[in-house]
């Protein structure tokens, strides 16, 4: 039985603090497709070019801090490649 490792981590205060200290200016929000009854959004730091149905927020905006509040049917995730990288 193969067990796939989840490369995503839930967005939290520490990630936001690290991104700010690394000079991240913008965060793009991308909806991920899922068959679960939960909506998943991936946060991508310093991506300034939105594709269709994507939104970009300045990192110091109120919208970003609202993503830290827990919601029952919505999860905000960060891929591990954006956690260890220096910006």
DSSP string, the chain: ---PPP-EEE--HHHHHHHHHTT--EEEEEEEP-SSSSEEEEEEET-----TT-EEEETTSHHHHHTTS--SSEEEEEEGGGTS---
Q: Tell me the pLDDT of the chain averaged across its residues.
A: 88
Q: In the prediction, which pLDDT does 4 show?
A: 76
Q: Domain map of the chain by residue range?
A: 8-82
Q: In the prediction, which pLDDT does 22 show?
A: 93
Residues in the chain where the model's pLDDT stays below 70: 1-3, 48, 50-53, 85-87
Contact 19, 13 (CB under 8 A): no
**pTM, to two decimals:** 0.83
């Amino acid at each position: 039985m193969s067990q796939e490792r989840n490369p995503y981590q839930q967005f939290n205060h520490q990630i936001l603090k690290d991104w700010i200290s690394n000079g991240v200016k913008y965060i793009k929000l991308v909806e991920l497709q899922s068959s679960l009854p939960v909506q998943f959004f991936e946060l991508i730091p310093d991506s300034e070019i939105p594709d269709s149905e994507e939104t970009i927020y300045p990192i110091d905006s109120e919208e970003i801090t609202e993503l830290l509040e827990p919601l029952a049917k919505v999860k905000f995730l960060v891929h591990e490649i954006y956690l260890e990288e220096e910006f």
